């Protein structure tokens, strides 16, 4: 599967009063990293939404926090797809602090279209084969 890597440097505003990353920041980064994975595969989030009305909302998530990170730390986020269903797919994020696994997250997202019949409603769609193939590329 295609793997995207992104480096994040922890800023002062990312931290809570205890001096460690405030956990909601991780979920912001996970969302941005999922979008970046799609971009590397050739599917820009803005184009999917504006031109096709497609979105990939998160419907389930689970994380494990193993090593705390704080101001000035540099982290590497590795993001990949681990499973494709008809309209859903699983994303795995691994945050490395140096060579150590600091945080891991699994998400389930849905390939969905904005439903023109109802404001703010979504309707799941089959994931196009071109999307599956682009995200299934082998990387080394």
Backbone angles phi, psi at 127, to 5 degrees: -70, 125
Map out the domains of the chain with their CATH numbers: 3-135 (3.10.129.10)
DSSP for 29-61, please give it. HHHHHHHHHHHHTT--HHHHHHHH-EE--EEEE
Q: What pLDDT digit, counting tens, does each position of 6-44 carry? A: 999 999 999 999 999 999 999 999 999 999 999 999 998
DSSP for 46-106, please give it. HHHHHHH-EE--EEEEEEEE-S--BTT-EEEEEEEEEEE-SSEEEEEEEEEETTEEEEEEE
Q: Is 7 helix (H, G, I), strand (E, B) or coil?
A: strand
Q: What pLDDT digit, counting tens, does each position of 39-86 carry? A: 999 998 888 887 778 899 999 999 999 999 999 999 999 999 999 999
Assess contact for 93 and 35: CB atoms under 8 A.
no
The span from the first CA to the last CA of the chain, in angstroms, equals 10
Least confident range from 65-79, 81-95, 123-137: namely 123-137
């Amino acid at each position: 599967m295609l793997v995207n890597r992104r480096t994040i440097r922890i800023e002062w505003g990312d931290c809570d009063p205890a001096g460690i990353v405030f956990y909601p920041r991780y979920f912001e980064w996970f969302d941005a990293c999922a979008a970046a994975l799609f971009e590397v595969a050739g599917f820009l989030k803005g184009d999917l939404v504006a031109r096709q009305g497609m979105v990939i909302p998160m419907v389930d998530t689970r994380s494990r926090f193993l090593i705390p990170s704080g101001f000035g730390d540099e982290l590497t986020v590795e993001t990949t797809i681990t499973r494709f269903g008809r309209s859903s797919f699983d994303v795995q994020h691994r945050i490395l602090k140096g060579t150590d696994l600091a945080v891991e997250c699994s998400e389930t997202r849905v390939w969905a279209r904005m439903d023109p019949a109802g404001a703010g409603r979504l309707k799941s769609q089959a994931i196009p084969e071109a999307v599956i193939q682009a995200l299934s590329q082998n990387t080394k």
